[in-house]
Amino acid sequence: MGKVLNIHGFPQAILHLDANAFFASVEQAVNPELKGKPVVVGKERGIVTAVSYEGKALGIKRGMTIREVQKKFPQAVILESDYEKYALFSQRMFEILRRFSPVVEEYSIDEAFSDLKGLRRYYRASYEEIGYRIKETIKNELGITVSIGISLTKVLAKIASSWRKPDGLTLISGKEIHRYLEKIPVSEVWGIGPQTEALCHKLGIFTALDFARAEEDFIKKHFTKTHYEIWLELRGIQVYPVLNTFKDKYKSISKAISFSPTKDKEFLLSQSAFNLEQACFKARRYGLFARKLIYFLKNEEFEVQSLEIELSYPTAYPKDLLPLLRRAFERLFKEGVFYRQVGIILTDLTAKREFQLGLFGPSLNLREKTEKLYEAIDSVNLRYGRTTLIHGTTLFVTKEKPLYRGRSLKIALLPICLT
C-alpha cells in the first residue's frame, strides 16, 4: 500500500457548503413558530422528502410515507413543498457566498463549492475564519444553518463538510488527511456507489484511507478513470477545479400534483392551470423561457396520456400558454374517467436574454406590456403569497387552498387584454 502525500499548507483551498436539512430549515426560518419542532416536508407527494433535525431525532426518515409519520409521530408538523421558496433561499445563500469569493460553483439547490485560494491576505484571516464568517452571515441574514468543509480538493472538502453536522465547520489540511480518511467508510466517499463499494470490499479496501493508500497501478488496473481521479483527490491532488457556474440552466421545469381520483372536469382543468402558473413563475425567476410545453393526465389506473406542444415563440407567461393548455386538456380528457394526477413540463429552455422576436411572435409593444404585467404579479405574489394574484382558470382550486403570507386577499386575473 502507498502513502498518502504529506502536503503542508494549502496549495489550494476548496470550500464545500452544505445547508442543513434545507427544505425543513427554510420553513422554520420563514415561520418562527416552527423552530424546535419536528418539521416534515412532502405532504403533497405522500412521502417524506425532507425532515428537520428535531424530526430526525424522533426517528423520522426521508422516504417514509406521510401516513406512517402521522400515525407514529402525531407531534410532527407536516407541510407541502414550496420549491419556489426554497429556490429563493438557495439563490440568496449563494449570493452571500459570492460576497466572500467570486468563484462559486452551485452544485445543487443546497450545496456549493467555492475557491478560497489567495483570499487569506485579502481578508487578513485564516481559511477557517473566512468559513466562520460565511456561516454567521448566512445564519444572520437567512435564519438557516450550514455545514462547511475546507480542504485541498473537492472530494476532501465534501468529507470535511459532513464531519460535523449540523452547523459545523471542519478544515482538513494536507498533513491531516489520513486522520480523517481512516474513519470514513469507502462507501461515503463522493463518487463511490454500491457497486464500487462491493468491488472495494472484495479487494480488501474498506475505508477511504485504504483506497487512498492503494498503489497507483493497482487503482488503474481495477477501477475506472473516474475512480482514479477520486483517488488523486483523496491524496490532496486537485483534479476537479471549482467551476464558476450559476444554476440558471435547466433542461426542464415540471409541476405535477396528485389527488384522490376524480372525474370533475372543472377541478382538473383548474389544477392543470395552477401547475402551469407555478412552472412559469419558476422559469421567470431564473430568467428562462420555454420552447415546448408538455401536458399530461394520469388516470386512476396509473395510465398516462400526454401531449407535447411546440411553441411558436419562447415564453414563460401563462397568458400565452393557457389557451394551448385548454386545447390540450380538451383533447386528452375523457368524460367519466377518473384521474389522479395532472402535470406540466416546460422544456427546451432558453435564457430570456437570448430571446429574439420572430415574424410570428407577439409585437414588441405587446411583449413589453406582458413583461411589465407579470413583473407586477410576481412582485405582489412574492410579498403576500403565491396565490394572491392568479388567473381566473385556477380559482376553482386555489380559493379552497390559498397560499397566503398575510391578510386574506385574492384577485383573479380574468381573460387579459393588453392591446
Active site residue 111: yes
The dihedral through the CA atoms of 113, 115, 120, 123 has a sign that is negative
Asked if the bond preceding 241 is cis, omega within 30° of 0, the reply is: no
Cα–Cα distances in angstroms (integers) from residue 368 to residues 107, 315, 317, 381, in the given order? 34, 13, 12, 20
* Catalytic-labelled residue, pool 54, 106, 111, 233: 111
The dihedral through the CA atoms of 93, 99, 100, 105 has a sign that is positive
Sheet holding 104-108, edge to edge: 104-108, 111-115, 14-19, 146-151, 169-171
* Contact (Cβ atoms closer than 8 angstroms) between residue 346 and residue 299: no
Phi then psi dihedrals of residue 115, to 5 deg: -95, 115
* Contact (Cβ atoms closer than 8 angstroms) between residue 112 and residue 17: yes
Residue 83 cell numbers, joined: 420549491
Which residue matches cell numbers 405535477?
Answer: 256
* Contact (Cβ atoms closer than 8 angstroms) between residue 235 and residue 5: yes
Question: Vertex 82, ends 77 and 88: CA angle to 5°?
Answer: 125
> Of 409, 368, 357, 373, whose CA–CA distance to 280 is shortest?
373
Q: In which element (H, E) is residue 297 found?
A: strand 288-299
Cα–Cα distances in angstroms (integers) from residue 205 to residues 181, 216, 237, 296, in the given order? 12, 14, 20, 47
Phi then psi dihedrals of residue 83, to 5 deg: -70, -30
* Contact (Cβ atoms closer than 8 angstroms) between residue 289 and residue 316: yes
Active site positions, annotated: 111
